[in-house]
Chains A and B, each alone.
Chain A
Amino acid sequence: MKLELTGITKTFGSLVADDDVDLTVEPGEIHALLGENGAGKTTLMNVLFGLMHPDSGEVALDGENVHFADPGEAVRHGIGMVHQHFMLVPVFTVAENVALGFEPTRHFGLLDRRQARAEVHRISEEFGLEVDPDAVVEELPVGVQQRVEILKALSRDAQLLILDEPTSVLTPQETEGLFAIMRSLAASGRSLLFITHKLKEVLAVADRITVMRLGAVIGTTTPQATTEAELATMMVGRSVELVVHKETAHPGDVVLTVDDLTVEDPRGLTVVDHISFDVRAGEILALAGVQGNGQTEIEEALCGLVELASGRVTFLGRDITGASPKLRLRAGMAHIPEDRVRDGLVVSMTVADNLILDVFDVAPHARFGARNLGEVRRSGEENMRDFDIRASSVDMLVSTLSGGNQQKVIVARELSRPTTLLVAAQPTRGLDVGSIEYVHKRIVEERDRGAAVVIISSELDEVLALGDRIAVIYRGRIMDIVDPGVGREQIGLLMAGVTEDGAGSGSPVAALAPEPPR
């Protein structure tokens, strides 16, 4: 199916989300839509899928103008969408999920399970999407759940499939699997619109690439005609350093020792399973792994936010296992939390207040229970300058800043004071290329200054770029601690639970491997 968007404009108040956007997707084409957060990709897709109505512009399918009042209408016109966050019922089987909303029924409104199952079989065979129709969705690995989403769209006879950041939850191997599926779908004449901000993937799978920036289309190109650096420049609007420059680490004394750490979730399931590691001054230990394998809990354990089932945490020779977050902060720990809006910022407060959020009650920001507002403002302005936070003043509410600048507020807060240990979880999630470059540079500087650094990241590129040693986490265990030199392939296998001797507890091709603990 051929999709043509012409002159799409959508504004929210004074914010122009999409400005006169033209986009054409040919039949049988994988078209990548590349752009930073806030570039207008999501808005454009919401317009296409009938979730929002454009202020002006036309949507045409196979040369015919269409207007979708709601997503249901878009689906009837052959548009399918695989959302970043899956829209599946976890306790239903694959067949039930696929049938949901378009249930085949027999007499008296009885659900025809057999037909639903047959449908799943038919589609999975046609496109090589291996899924067991009777498996319960919540027990499937994330990559397979995504396959169910695709199946669901195909069962509605989607001719144009929109994939919104589909690889953010996948291992490298699962990503390869997805790309194979995408290629076979394109070969069958379907059109695919692939939304992402990952340059490597775009070059690997797309036939054509459209780059958006600040609501406007910057240009359309092909993988053959461009390079990563050029795409990054188009996205950001200036040339960007894609490689992190760092010298070899010179590790000093051990700063943090984690011994036999075990964390249970509220249901009593073990999510961090007897892990031990140590981190030295002047080195970066990267904890790699697909999201939901216990990294979040390790982060919380290091920062005193969760009760341990067992284990000891030693910091600078002191046992801090039961210490409060405040004590750890005062002892020289810095923490960049995984979810910045939930855990790192108070978005309804000002930049200045957020810049001192965890040191608000100590000198020079306060004395005898009274805040020194002059000093808060002065140091806030200094940090804004030093860390290049783009806001018109320190009195701006953090909610008005872009994601990248919000993250810079946290980075500035945590790195502007003397730090012995930095725990940074997903420090560049959702950031644009320019901000990623900046945050990475700051973290490496912190290491070179002599701090011990723990990076928790599910982005393989980030782990490889920053880590001096890489600990790969799978189902709450450290599979191995490796040198970044071993390469993507091996780390990718470790992330999927496969060890070198093949004695892994799971395999990336085993479609029905139980879901990792979350």
Chain B
Amino acid sequence: MSAAADDAAPVLAQDGPDHWLVYTTGLVLAVVLTATSFWVANTSVLWPPGVPLGLAVLAIAQMGAHLVFFLHMTSAPDNTNHALALAFGVLIVFLVVAGSLWIMADLDGAMLPGGGHMHSHGAAGMAMPMRP
């Protein structure tokens, strides 16, 4: 490609203040969600077994906010390919994480009784010296 064409690259059509507002909205939302996450993790007001679930929900909400406000994911037709690729990526991530946890929990349950600490999983659990 010619350098002249490069230099002549048009300034993208955009309305500055609006874009500035998008990033600022994203920042405010992210700060609120992050602060809530830290509060949820440290407070004793909430029912303790529900805390990890609450943290997961907050994290997913914040990742969604980042995708929309920082990475500019939209449902517009010109974004369909991006959305489809993202959906596929999310599927793979879900399969890897949920599948690993499921399989390893299953193997843990199938281990010989007393063959390691209750919370030890997988190879590390077996390689570990026996502990009460």
The answer to whether A and B assemble together is no
| Residues in A lying within 8 Å of B, measured CB to CB | none
